[in-house]
Amino acid sequence: MATNEARGHVTVVGSLNMDLVARAPRMPQPGETLAGHAFAQVAGGKGGNQAVAAARLGAQVAMLGCVGADANGAQLRAGLEAEGIDCTALETSATAPTGVALIIVDDGSQNSIVIIAGSNGEVTPETLARHEAALAGAQVVICQLETPPAAVHAALAAAHRLGKTVILNPAPATGPLPDGWLALIDYLIPNELEAAMLTGLPVSSPEQALAAASALRRAGARNVIVTIGAQGVVAALGDDDPLHFDAPRVKAVDTTAAGDTFIGGFAAQLARGANVTEAIRFAQRAASISVTCAGAQPSIPTRAQVDTP
């Protein structure tokens, strides 16, 4: 296992958004105006969240993406740099505003999110070509689906060609992945909703998650890890029998960025040399801490917090 001093390199290719978060007693019905409890504006976006998570949880991190030439973009860039994240490959659009996410969190700590891509839509295969050095310098490369599909495919293909460990968080998922993508991915990590979209199977229990993970393995995925919230994690790893990892028991306050925390922690551990089982359990502990705090990036713990008994 890696020593405490070892720090692997992780590159995240993905989105950065300014999150506009409203807390309300429940989700509003169509046409309804509902009084909320509180409002906050915090840094987010799956790419940004996963980059911050990997950095706080022990990795050296580079961010590849695009923000707007506006106050939100400047704030997001400054926030990443404050975490020690290399932003050399973070471009600034001259025309598109920084991405925004509108988030409602209810009293049950569940959330609904609407994303406006903005400058995230300007990440292209050409962007990847300009910044291939950011991929070459990493042990682990993480992608999601909040940037254009052509750019995601370019990132997966380049990272695979360079011999990196490739993680895809297929979020947001709208259906099966395009042909040829699974062969480029080492670890496919959906949540239960995304696993259902990828497979067309219901996924609301560990047993159903196991079935979905096995179906994705049969479709060509090498390793599939399905996160199912308080029910834990299901992993179909190589040719081994699928495994179920129980989730730590905590009182959830806000589940925003729990999945991103899991992925950042998992990637950080792999980059440090941990085995997959160790990486999953570490990532689960990190995610369990994140749900006890409000907000996206503000809720992501440090490595010291996760390592403290």
pLDDT for 2 equals 40
H runs (alpha helix) in the chain: 46-56, 71-82, 125-130, 132-136, 149-161, 192-199, 206-218, 258-272, 276-290, 303-307
pLDDT for 111 equals 81
Taken in order of first residue, the domains within the chain and their CATH numbers are: 9-15+45-97+119-307 (3.40.1190.20)
pLDDT for 257 equals 85
For residue range 42-69, list pLDDT tens digits in order.
Answer: 899 999 999 999 999 999 999 999 999 9
pLDDT for 3 equals 41
| Apex 230 CA angle, 228 and 234, nearest 5 | 35
Whether 260 is a known active-site residue: answer yes
pLDDT for 109 equals 78
Judge whether residue 179 has pLDDT over 50: yes
Cross-sheet strand order for the sheet of 38-44: 38-44, 17-23, 99-105, 111-116
For residue range 127-164, list pLDDT tens digits in order.
Answer: 999 999 999 999 999 999 999 999 999 999 999 999 99
Judge whether residue 71 has pLDDT over 90: yes
pLDDT for 241 equals 86
The reported pTM is 0.92
Q: 115: which strand partners?
A: 101
Mean pLDDT over each residue of the chain, to the nearest integer: 94
Residue 63 or 254, more confident: 63
Mean pLDDT of 241-259: 86
Mean pLDDT of 229-247: 91
246, 254, 260, 307: the catalytic one is: 260
φ/ψ of residue 146, rounded to 5:
-95, 5
Helix, strand, or coil here: 67? strand
Judge whether residue 189 has pLDDT over 70: yes
